[in-house]
């Protein structure tokens, strides 16, 4: 029985696999994609999350914090994230929900109980549960136990992954997964390392392993201006989708800046700051171009 660290469980999700789904967000990721929009998913430890827009300046948090993390000046409420020990005392007294600890230890059975509450909706819509993150396969034993329990209870299971995990973890979770939502971030090994912090060799080996084992795959391709919005990458996406027999679709994920506030909320600096979304017409043009190079369906997600 493995415990895991989860930073969110979202119900009624429509973009994380077929039908209506519950998405479980695992905390911790071995990659550092510069455009990541889930800043609270990066660290593998519980951490303070401060939503400044909800704060009224009541100062109750400063009264209870043993580490003097909260201070108040003319400029407003300062949070010294580096001194925080994630005890949660400030979150307990904040009546505005401006503070919380992102990351909760849960057993796979506890998560499953929450997920099963929506089973009638999955049954009606052919939905299920999606393991996401962060990187769910970084907590391999926990992810496998949850996927196995979900299958025992008749649920459709998706795993949303960067593909950066050990072959053993992949082999272990394979029988309990119906669909892998597999990221393809950059075809070039050096640029992959530059933009994500890791080489793509292991990722591509894992992708091929899943394909050879008959797994259904959707390639999820973030399109990030200045990083991978290039003709060679579009061609590589199309070639990969053609080459791998398990790929049933390509999902284009245009850049959006909605995650930037989360960096401030966990006291991190965003590495890629661009305020505009990728223009819808540009995204459609990229979609159509990739679609002209492969027989697989290409959609914007
Ligand atoms: S307790 Fe909450 S609302 Fe009050 S100052 Fe602290 S963060 Fe702001
Ligand atoms: S979680 Fe604990 S240590 Fe961190 S700011 Fe809140 S009270 Fe202080």
- Asked if domains 3-43+106-300 and 47-102 share a fold, the reply is no
Q: How many angstroms is it from 67 CA to the middle of ligand 2?
A: 7
C-alpha gyration radius of the chain = 20
Is any atom of ligand 1 closer than 6 Å to the C-beta of 96?
Answer: yes
Q: Is the pLDDT of residue 36 over 80?
A: yes
Task: Please report the pLDDT score of residue 2 as a whole number.
Answer: 74
Residue with token string 């430890």: 45
Burial class of residue 152 in the structure, from the number of CB atoms within 10 Å of its CB (0-12 exposed, 13-18 middle, 19+ buried): exposed
User: For the chain, what percent of residues have pLDDT higher than 70?
Assistant: 100
Is any atom of ligand 2 closer than 6 Å to the C-beta of 13?
Answer: no
Is any atom of ligand 2 closer than 6 Å to the C-beta of 165?
Answer: no
Is any atom of ligand 2 closer than 6 Å to the C-beta of 90?
Answer: yes
Is any atom of ligand 1 closer than 6 Å to the C-beta of 79?
Answer: no
pLDDT in tens, 208-240: 999 999 999 999 999 999 999 999 999 999 999
Confirm if 7 and 41 have CB atoms less than 8 A apart. Answer: yes
Task: Please report the pLDDT score of residue 265 as a whole number.
Answer: 97
Q: Which of 59, 64, 75, 94 to mutate to test the pocket of ligand 1 (most atoms within 8 A of CB)?
A: 94
Q: What phi and psi, each to the nearest 5 degrees, are found at residue 213?
A: -95, 15
In the Cβ-directed half-sphere of 213, how many Cα atoms lie within 13 Å?
Answer: 19
pLDDT in tens, 67-112: 999 999 888 999 999 999 999 999 999 999 999 999 999 999 999 9
Burial class of residue 201 in the structure, from the number of CB atoms within 10 Å of its CB (0-12 exposed, 13-18 middle, 19+ buried): exposed
Burial class of residue 190 in the structure, from the number of CB atoms within 10 Å of its CB (0-12 exposed, 13-18 middle, 19+ buried): exposed
When pLDDT is averaged across residues 179-200 and rounded to a whole number, the result is 97
- Assign a CATH topology to domain 47-102: Alpha-Beta Plaits (3.30.70)
**CA distance readout (Å), 221 to 92, 117, 225, 298:** 39, 31, 13, 10
Q: What ligand is nearest to the CA atom of residue 68?
A: 2
Domain assignments of the chain as residue spans, ordered by start = 3-43+106-300, 47-102
Q: Is the pLDDT of residue 1 over 90?
A: no
Q: What ligand is nearest to the CA atom of residue 77?
A: 1
Q: Is the pLDDT of residue 137 over 80?
A: yes
- Assign a CATH topology to domain 3-43+106-300: TIM Barrel (3.20.20)
- Determine how many CB atoms are found less than 10 A away from the CB of residue 167: 11
The mean predicted confidence, pLDDT, of the chain is: 96
């Amino acid at each position: 029985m493995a415990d895991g660290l989860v930073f969110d469980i979202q119900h009624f999700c429509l973009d994380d696999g077929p039908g209506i789904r519950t998405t479980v967000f695992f905390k911790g990721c071995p990659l550092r994609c510069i455009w990541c929009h889930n800043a609270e998913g990066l660290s593998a430890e519980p951490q303070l999350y401060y939503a400044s827009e909800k704060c009224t300046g009541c100062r109750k948090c400063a009264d209870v914090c043993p580490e003097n993390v909260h201070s108040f000046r003319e400029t407003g409420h300062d949070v010294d994230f580096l001194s925080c020990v994630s005890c949660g005392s400030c979150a307990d007294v904040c009546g505005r929900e401006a503070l919380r600890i992102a990351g909760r230890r849960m057993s796979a059975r506890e998560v499953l109980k929450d997920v099963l509450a929506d089973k009638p909706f999955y049954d009606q819509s052919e939905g299920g549960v999606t393991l996401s993150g962060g990187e769910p396969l970084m907590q391999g034993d926990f992810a496998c136990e949850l996927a196995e329990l979900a299958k025992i209870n008749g649920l459709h299971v998706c795993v949303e992954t960067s593909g950066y995990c050990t072959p053993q973890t992949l082999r272990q979770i394979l029988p309990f997964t119906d669909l892998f939502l597999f990221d393809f971030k950059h075809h070039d090994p050096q640029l992959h390392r530059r933009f994500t912090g890791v080489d793509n060799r292991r990722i591509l080996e894992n992708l091929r392993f899943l394909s050879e084992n008959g797994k259904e795959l959707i390639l999820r391709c973030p399109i990030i201006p200045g990083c991978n919005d290039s003709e060679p990458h579009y061609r590589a996406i199309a070639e990969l989708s053609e080459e791998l027999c398990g790929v049933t679709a390509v999902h284009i994920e245009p850049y959006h800046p909605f995650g930037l506030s989360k960096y401030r909320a966990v006291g991190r600096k965003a590495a890629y700051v661009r305020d505009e979304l990728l223009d819808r017409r540009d995204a459609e043009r990229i979609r159509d171009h990739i679609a002209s190079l492969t027989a697989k369906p290409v959609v914007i997600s």
